[in-house]
């Protein structure tokens, strides 16, 4: 029954395609993952910001960022959760923030702003089309 098989394959394809509801205007995003350690230990709740090296795109402004989980792992998000970063070169900054549940803003950096300035950052990443990026483990120093 080759015709029947073809039908089911087509149906599967259509169903899988139907699941992705990405807006056609959005830029292509490439998955970017990594792990954050502070003083050698995985750190939860580190906010990673991706600053584009060529400056903010004023045509189609996006912001890429991530929050590390309990194992220190993070995945970049731009439009949807964990969808990655648009193609480009980025400087990374790190802040260890707490949520103020009344003002709903993050603040109180436990790294005391040491890694929060893009012009002083030693960490960067290049995202190229079609290749998922694994930054690996980033070691930060918390004490002092």
Neighbour-count burial of 140, counting CB atoms closer than 10 A to its CB (0-12 exposed, 13-18 middle, 19+ buried): middle
Tell me how far apart the alpha carbons of residues 135 and 127 are, in angstroms, rounded to a whole number.
Answer: 10
**End-to-end alpha carbon distance in the chain:** 71
Residues 93-132, interacting with other proteins (CB under 8 A): 99-106
User: Residue 77 or residue 115: which is nearer to other proteins going by CB?
Assistant: 77
In the bound complex, what is the minimum distance in angstroms from residue 109's beta carbon to other proteins?
16
Distance CA 101, CA 78 (A): 23
> Which of the ranges 10-18, 27-35, 57-65, 124-132 carries the binding residues for other proteins, by CB under 8 A?
57-65
Binding mask 21-40 for other proteins (x = CB under 8 A): x-x-----------------
Residue 59 CA to residue 140 CA, distance in Å, equals: 34
The CB-of-135 to other proteins minimum distance in angstroms stands at 17
Query: By CB under 8 A, which span of 27-35, 50-58, 86-94, 108-116 interacts with other proteins?
Result: 50-58
């Amino acid at each position: 029954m080759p015709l029947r098989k073809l039908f089911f394959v087509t149906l599967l394809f259509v169903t899988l395609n139907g699941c992705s509801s990405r807006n056609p205007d959005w830029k292509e995003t490439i998955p970017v993952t990594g792990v954050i350690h502070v003083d050698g230990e995985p750190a939860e709740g580190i906010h990673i910001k991706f600053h584009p090296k060529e400056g903010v795109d004023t045509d189609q402004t996006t912001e890429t960022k991530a929050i590390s989980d309990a194992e220190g792992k993070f995945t970049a998000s731009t439009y949807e959760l964990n969808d990655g970063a648009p193609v480009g070169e980025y400087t990374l900054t790190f802040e260890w923030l707490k949520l103020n549940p009344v003002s709903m803003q993050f603040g109180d950096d436990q790294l005391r702003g040491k890694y929060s300035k893009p012009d002083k950052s030693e960490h960067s990443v290049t995202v190229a089309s079609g290749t998922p990026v694994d930054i690996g483990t980033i070691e930060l120093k918390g004490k002092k």
